[in-house]
Structure 1
Amino acid sequence: MSTQARGLEALVGSGAPKGGGTRVVAITSGKGGVGKSTISANIAYVLAREGFKVGIMDADIGLANLDVMFNVRADRNILHVLKGEATFEEIVTRIEPNLWLIPGESGDEILKFSDATIVSRFLDEAESLESLDFLIVDTGAGIGDTIQMFLRAADDVVVVTVPDPAAITDAYAMIKVVSKIKEEIGLVVNQVKSAKEGQKIFDTIEKVARGNIGGDLKLTLLGTIRSDAYVARSVKQRVLVCKELANIAPAGDIEAVASRLGEKKERKMLDGRKERGIGNFFKRLLGQF
């Protein structure tokens, strides 16, 4: 392992993950503006608070903004690592105990790198993140090829939608595309008036999916998140709902979603199965570029 990689390991913390390897969860949406990044950031925070070591990666190519949401300054990002202009140690930022941000790139230059030496060094450093229990990947919206690459490389895919008819249609389109590469997809319905409304939307999407996609697709409702004006304010104020506004309904709803993800990982650990790991994720990802 390189000296730089050892420095990163010291930053994140060495030792075995809590749940037997890093589980990569990609959070995506068919349409923009559904609260995907807010949900990603808060899920990562809750999992870290529950004792998991969590990394969150901004993969919203074209609109990387997690550094803004966490109210930290990120002068360099993952593109600089691929260019050899920075190390992982220099770009990984500690946000909270057990929580680290891996800043993304706001352009598509990341797709151009295939130099074997650069990729090898990149993967060597990435292996030092294996002590993470979760890597939450906040992807862009839509069904573009780049987004599909991240979804294909991830262990879990979570689709976020809202009660807007266009968003529901786009969520179904996303599910249809993802069903070709994943047998299990999680759905989160955001900004609902009640859990009953969210369940009804899920039932509608599941019925259409069952009738048109078929196969072995398992669509799971990970949770519904109620609407609250304070959530929009929290984004503008750059604070995490589940940290600063823990008493409002959406915070509890997001905590429930995070807990389900944590329970799923722990069940796998109890079954004696190990995650493929973060190094494997980057290998799958870079192998597609």
Structure 2
Amino acid sequence: MRVFVTGATGFIGSAVVRELLDAGHEVLGLARSDTSAAALTAAGAEIHRGALDDLDSLRGGADAADGVIHLAYVHDFSDIEASGVIDLRAVEAIGAALAGSGKPFVNTSGTLAVTPGRAGTEEDAGSDGVRRGDSENATLALAERGVRPSVVRLPPSVHGEGDKHGFVPSLIGIARAKGVSAYVGDGSNRWPAVHRLDAARLYRLAVEAAPAGSRLHGVGEEGVPFRDIAEAIGGLLALPVAGIAAEDAAEHFGWLSAMVALDNPTSSALTRQRLGWRPEGPALIADIEKGHYVTD
């Protein structure tokens, strides 16, 4: 299968490219810059020049492939609504190119948009108007237009060596700056997590065989107490660990404040059953304790 991959040189995307190539697939990677193009060539993938807001390039990449995996996203926390609109337009362009083809289209969403406070499942619908919720629902609706769409929902922590811009390195940076590794309240709220290589394998399985209209949860651990995460970071940096009041979260965590107190346990039982996916990578706390987050 020849797979068009957006976000192909990112932390997760580069692992997906490697997973696809190792499984015998061909990869056509979206490249916005010469640096990205060089990375794709070095990996053994083909280059497709373009960008997420270049809809003609997205349509061209989809037309030239047997399937699409969409990982790219404009992470602009100063204008979350605009980021969501760019992503939705990209999904619509790819969907239009694939309509009537029967080709697979695997999009990316997040578990944080799924029913906080109880264990979310693959049967929970995405929330309209919530960041990636609109593009998630637009993707799955393509099943009615002759596409085999699926969505991989990723947890807030997709961890592993080489993670430079995810939530874990952000929390480490905040702890260093503040001199304390903090959690909100008693820190009992839970974050799901998955190792990067396990997530990459799920994307491959999805593009190969996910049923049309399926939601998939790339979750290796259903819920890690946030206090455990803070304690692991504190141990890594030799910093004190402390709880802070909810009203102080914005000052301490900045842009992450809306997420650090969320209780987001998420099940991946149906995903494992549907695709035979079995996470094998290190758990989040063990991965933090390895030390690569401060030595990479």
Q: Same fold (TM over 0.5)?
A: no
Higher relative contact order (CA 8 A, sep 6+): 1
- The TM-score, its normalising length taken from structure 1, stands at 0.42
- The TM-score, its normalising length taken from structure 2, stands at 0.41
